[in-house]
Structure 1
Amino acid sequence: MTPRIHDLVPTALRRSWATSGHYPDLDLYVLFRAHRVTDPHRTAVIDAQGGTSYAELDDRARCLAAGLAEAGVCPGDVVGIQLPNGWPAVAADLAIAALGAVALPFPVGRGSREVRSLLSRSGARAVIAATEQRGVEHARDLVALADALPALRTVIAAGTGPAPEGCLSLDDLLRTGRADFAPARTDPDAAARILVSSGTEAEPKMIAYSHNALVGGRGNTLAALLPDRLPPRCLFLVPLGSAFGTAGTAVTLARHGGTLVLLDRFTPDAALEAIQAHRPTHVLCVPTMVRMMLDPLAKEPRPPTGLTALVLGGSPLDANTRGEARRAFGCPVVNLYGSADGVNCHTGLAGNAEPDPGLGVTVGTPDPAVCEIRIAPLPGTGPAEPGDPGEPGEIIARGPMTPMCYVGAPELNMRYRTADGWVRTGDLGILDDDGTLRVVGRLKDVVIRGGANISPAEVEGELSAHPDVRDVICLGVPDPLMGERLAACVVPHYGRRPTLESLGAHLAARGLERRKHPERLLLVDDELPLTPAGKPDRATLRARLTAPGTPTHHAQAG
């Protein structure tokens, strides 16, 4: 059974944002269709198979929508999408919107346990999955889960070769569907998409967004980065199935009539080749991906041309990476703070000055067309009243991009939503006197060493400026004496070999007290592992640190 998706934002507020022009007040398929009508030959998607025009993509989406309808998908049904970046993933997004159904995308690579949890708790009626991706047969695996997913009626396999037994074929649906399919008339305040966030919960969180919140609120985030208001050409190095990737179909195409440049798998060389070949205006990725591209750029300088901005989100952006990237790519580097839970804020294009070296990471001035941001007094359980400027507290947000609710998790709605529509982010932040937001860390992401709290984000920010460090993640590891100790997982610059002593000396010189210095060091000689969503994989790093026989460096216990 599909859980009821209800909007926790008061209706009067939603309507006020529409009246103010922050919402287009149209569903995302209607918006996409308008671009198809006005410029049918414009390129919508560039992927490994070449270019796909708006007209071609629309025909495929309408055929797929007709095929899904014949397979029993109805308006309001949840449809999972587990596909790599490419036109089929985009066509699936559009087809589901045209049906008035709700898309639940998640990246390839998620384990079967997480996938089962997502599909079960959402009551998904159908899922479109890759026949095979990097050796994993996603569609076949989903058929095997059928007994545990009573609501799931249909598995659709996408990819080369025959569909596994028990699956429909995406190619067959595209061939037999009707391009004259009549799309549903969908309320723009109805649910369009469920975003998935691993967060800090035991199971992935699912957050429902309306059409207006996606194309309006989230669309306004990108609108502020389009200085000439021309359709953007966006290279997405993050999966479209991630929260960050939501800016693909709904925002880049439906809202802004742009072009998506897609790689089905990120590698530094492939990303740099795509930048040279396809001349994107914007590159959207996480800081770790940029750091991985900086080394080949240093060895073989090939300054990209035509870039309006690198837009970096998903994890904190340190000043060192920002500066190196701006010099290497020759364009502004935008630090995007955001989450699936309902907050976006970025540093913008204007000036793109060096960040202020004060406390936390500067992430720009909140845009009321996206969301208003306040700082709630800790521990964040009181009324959503703004704190004094400069006082740290929990970041709370409410505005046009605010999602409807958590799906299948009423306890999360109780914990993170207020009666008047505010979202508690679980992040610590400060609003300066001039309205600039600084993110200090996570309320839950704290290492407790002998009763003293340590923010890993603070230590990471300082270590990123060490001359031997190319990339770094800090996290807590269990310790029988102190409860936890701080560990640093470091990717060194080529030919460098940092030590705990050199890292400690660097932190001491920057004024960080001794108790915050890492006491374990794991040197990662290749790259930091990434999750399917493209973020640093802290769980894998923690497993390496705690595995018997892993070579790590220890500080003297105490």
Structure 2
Amino acid sequence: MGQPATIPHVAKHAAELWSDEPAIIQAGETWSFADLWRRARAAASGLIASGVGQGDRIAIWAPNSREWIVVALAAQATGAAIVPLNTRLKGREAADILRRTSAKMLFTVDNFLGTDYPALLAKQDLPDLDETLLIGRDLPGLDKRGSGEADERVDAALEQLTSDDVSDIMFTSGTTGAPKGVVTTHGSIVPMFHHWVGLMGLEKGERYLIINPFFHSFGFKAGWVAALVAGAVTIPVANFDVDEVIRRIEQDRINFLPGPPTIYQALLAAKAENDFDTSSLRGAATGAASVPPELIRRMRAELGLRDTVTAYGMTECTTITACRRGDDAELIAQSVGKAIPGLEVRVIDEDGEELPRGEAGEICVRGYGVMREYLDDPDATASAFDADGWLHTGDIGTMDADGYVRITDRLKDMYISGGFNCYPAEIEKLLSEHPEIGTVAVIGVPDERLGEVGKAFVIPRPGKSLSAESLLAWARANMANYKVPREFKVVSELPLNASGKVLKTELREG
């Protein structure tokens, strides 16, 4: 039998292959692969009865849970694409994405870390949104709308579903400040994570603690999709709490624990204070920030994560390069690995010519794993790809003789805070809505815990006075917390070049 073509077909295949084996453990309850697929089919029947089908968009705005996976599989089985929303977004940010995707239904929660998500949308204009359902409470009612797991309409929809169909639309920002919808097909994801599983050595029955959020490619595609491919056990974590993660490691005998460097730093600090059992741990995949070689060594020596690797990707191509198990700590820390099987990676100069090994230029990728397009934005799509189909990442790096890539700089001003991509242009746009801000410039500055954090330089509007404290409070109320600059500096002027553009290099040096 060939490789399954789509994510729902991966789940179906897993149910056939490992029917009664554990697929998900949550709150002490275990679902088998067959249980998961039955629940997904029943929910898909309910969605079809609700009028959901090919080409529709279903949004999910919720923390990691088994129900999140059920909704995603169900929606995709009907031919719809999912639109994962970051749980840190505020109502205005989420509403913009819901409008731009014409999302038909929204699955969310009414209490996560004290946030009532439906309430955040109460005053937003959402003309295409037919219904909002609570992901935990309303799924049984959705199931009852349909004909149950045996519904032949689900089989018919699955037969129509191909690798060319859109799997998801995930939003990323950039130099323009407006979030862009990255349209990705099933055919970009399924082969990639068959390769990824092989590179990571993820095996059937291994227990995979997924801390990375499902609204991010790391938690969704390199998370539960990879677990379905491998036959591994998904153990979702709603939010990172070091004590809860330690409990899960010990009680659930976790084997595989990916995440940004901050997670391992927190676990190492906790272990130094109060030792805990890490004997079950085997593997880790990290990245999304610079990784000191000493951290890799300590992860292996003190946490038992002997198969620790770094990888590099972006929303537009989830995994571009990865180290290999067995690579030494220096190589893993200082590089992001080499191209994953089936993808081409090269480093080019300003004229688009490939550079000799060791010379710095822009990293480009080509192959099955890249996105189809930016949603409703042909100009941005055209500028992202060149005439030969290479996706330009905007990252600057070098490639050695063995194909290992080192990222040295970014063409864009993006910085990474606690594993989240932060785009100064988008943050500046949001801050500019403050009624007393005249001009603002944001840069990323080093931070020991989060890797980098934002620093905002603000010029008040004429006749207005601003304080760093009031700006911080306003930002926290109006944007996702990872976007909020940790420092505000009120200034009278900003360094500009001849064309009036802010010289961020001078801000960083100053």
The two structures have a TM-score, normalised by structure 1, of 0.73
Aligned to 1:293: 267
- Equivalent residue in structure 2 for 1:155, among 123, 132, 157: 132
SS of equivalent to 2:143? helix
Give, as a single letter, the amino acid of the residue that structure 1 aligns with 2:128: A
SS of equivalent to 1:291? helix
Structure 2 residue 29 is matched with structure 1 residue 50: yes
Structure 2 residue 382 is matched with structure 1 residue 427: no
- Equivalent residue in structure 2 for 1:365, among 338, 352, 362: 338
Structure 2 residue 506 is matched with structure 1 residue 544: no
Structure 2 residue 208 is matched with structure 1 residue 234: yes
Aligned to 2:86: 107
C-alpha distance in 2, partners of 1:356/1:313?
Answer: 10
Q: Residues 107-128 of structure 1, C-alpha deviation per residue, up to 9 Å, x if partnerless? A: 3221112211211111212111
Contact 1:236 1:263 in 2 (8 A): yes
SS of equivalent to 1:214? helix
Q: Residues 122-164 of structure 1, C-alpha deviation per residue, up to 9 Å, x if partnerless? A: 121211111322222213434543xx2222222222235xxxx
C-alpha distance in 2, partners of 1:200/1:297?
Answer: 40
- Equivalent residue in structure 2 for 1:268, among 220, 242, 257: 242
Give, as a single letter, the amino acid of the residue that structure 2 aligns with 1:544: E
- Equivalent residue in structure 1 for 2:307, among 332, 337, 358: 332
Aligned to 2:44: 65
Contact 1:218 1:401 in 2 (8 A): no
- Equivalent residue in structure 2 for 1:179, among 145, 149, 152: 149
C-alpha distance in 2, partners of 1:128/1:446?
Answer: 30
SS of equivalent to 1:354? helix
Contact 2:455 2:487 in 1 (8 A): no
SS of equivalent to 1:127? strand
Shift in Å at residue 403 of structure 1? 1.5
C-alpha distance in 2, partners of 1:196/1:471?
Answer: 22
Q: Which structure 2 residue ranges, 5 or more long, are not aligned? A: 416-423, 425-442, 460-475, 492-506
Aligned to 2:463: none
Aligned to 2:64: 85
Shift in Å at residue 388 of structure 1? 1.4
Aligned to 1:133: 112
SS of equivalent to 2:40? helix
Contact 1:114 1:204 in 2 (8 A): no
C-alpha distance in 1, partners of 2:109/2:311?
Answer: 30
Summarize the Cα distance change of 1:45–1:107 in structure 2 as closer, same or farther, 3 Å threshold.
farther
Structure 2 residue 325 is matched with structure 1 residue 349: yes
Aligned to 2:467: none
Summarize the Cα distance change of 1:278–1:344 in structure 2 as closer, same or farther, 3 Å threshold.
farther
C-alpha distance in 2, partners of 1:232/1:405?
Answer: 35
Query: Considering only aligned residues, what root-mean-square deviation do their CA atoms show, in Å?
Result: 3.2
Contact 1:346 1:365 in 2 (8 A): yes
Summarize the Cα distance change of 1:43–1:547 in structure 2 as closer, same or farther, 3 Å threshold.
farther
C-alpha distance in 1, partners of 2:28/2:105?
Answer: 26
Q: How many aligned positions are there?
A: 444
Contact 2:296 2:329 in 1 (8 A): no
C-alpha distance in 1, partners of 2:366/2:326?
Answer: 25
Summarize the Cα distance change of 1:476–1:432 in structure 2 as closer, same or farther, 3 Å threshold.
farther
C-alpha distance in 2, partners of 1:432/1:282?
Answer: 29
Shift in Å at residue 316 of structure 1? 2.5
Contact 2:68 2:135 in 1 (8 A): no
Structure 2 residue 346 is matched with structure 1 residue 374: yes
Aligned to 1:414: 382
Summarize the Cα distance change of 1:251–1:356 in structure 2 as closer, same or farther, 3 Å threshold.
closer
Shift in Å at residue 304 of structure 1? 1.1
Shift in Å at residue 199 of structure 1? 4.5
C-alpha distance in 2, partners of 1:355/1:372?
Answer: 20
SS of equivalent to 1:57? helix
Aligned sequence identity (%)? 25
C-alpha distance in 2, partners of 1:427/1:261?
Answer: 33
Contact 1:158 1:171 in 2 (8 A): no
Contact 2:268 2:303 in 1 (8 A): no
Structure 2 residue 74 is matched with structure 1 residue 74: no
Contact 1:336 1:347 in 2 (8 A): yes
- Equivalent residue in structure 1 for 2:410, among 407, 426, 442: 442
- Equivalent residue in structure 2 for 1:392, among 355, 360, 366: 360
Q: Residues 81-113 of structure 1, C-alpha deviation per residue, up to 9 Å, x if partnerless? A: 112111100101110121111111123221112
C-alpha distance in 2, partners of 1:429/1:345?
Answer: 12
C-alpha distance in 2, partners of 1:388/1:138?
Answer: 51
Give, as a single letter, the amino acid of the residue that structure 2 aligns with 1:393: G
Give, as a single letter, the amino acid of the residue that structure 2 aligns with 1:250: V
Aligned to 2:222: 247
Shift in Å at residue 392 of structure 1? 0.6
Give, as a single letter, the amino acid of the residue that structure 1 aligns with 2:225: A
Summarize the Cα distance change of 1:125–1:356 in structure 2 as closer, same or farther, 3 Å threshold.
closer
SS of equivalent to 1:355? helix
C-alpha distance in 1, partners of 2:111/2:332?
Answer: 47
Give, as a single letter, the amino acid of the residue that structure 1 aligns with 2:207: R
Summarize the Cα distance change of 1:470–1:106 in structure 2 as closer, same or farther, 3 Å threshold.
closer
Summarize the Cα distance change of 1:356–1:232 in structure 2 as closer, same or farther, 3 Å threshold.
closer
Summarize the Cα distance change of 1:305–1:543 in structure 2 as closer, same or farther, 3 Å threshold.
closer
